[in-house]
Amino acid sequence: MHELSLAEEMVRLIESAALSQGFQRARVVRLEVGDLSCVEPQALALAFDAASHGTCAEGAELVLLPVAAQGACPACGRQQALSTLYDACMACGHLPMQVLSGTELRVRDLDVE
């Protein structure tokens, strides 16, 4: 379950931000999760609860913000929604598409006190 290591890294980032920015506690963590990020949102939420125990992020609400997968064809320029990293262009059949979005896993922002 790689979600636990991802959650631990998120908590490290939040703890580092607390030290550098001088806040005591994170109340809300907004996380962008791409449709093609290979992350199971429910598993990540459970892992975050476990990883944040005893930290400034303990008890924080984790808000998962989905990011749709989009790609562009390097051959014809068409942009389209992607369902996998290996989708072909629907216009010309070119492989692979250039991924524009959907692989993100990023802490977008925090509500802190």
**Arithmetic mean of pLDDT, 10-32:** 97
| Residue 29: per-residue pLDDT | 98
Q: How far apart are CA 33 and CA 102, in angstroms?
A: 8
**Arithmetic mean of pLDDT, 53-64:** 97
Decide: 33 and 104 in contact? Cβ < 8 Å: yes
Alpha helices (H) in the chain, listed in sequence order: 2-21, 41-51
| Residue 1: per-residue pLDDT | 59
**Arithmetic mean of pLDDT, 100-104:** 97
Query: What digits encode the pLDDT tens for the residues 59-90?
Result: 999 999 999 999 999 999 999 999 999 999 99
Q: Cβ neighbours of residue 72 under 8 Å, at least 6 residues apart?
A: 78, 79, 97, 98, 100
Residue that the structure tokens 């990293």 belong to: 85
Fold annotation for 2-112:
hypothetical protein PF0899 fold (3.30.2320)
Which one-letter DSSP state was computed for residue 78? -
- Where do the domains of the chain lie? 2-112
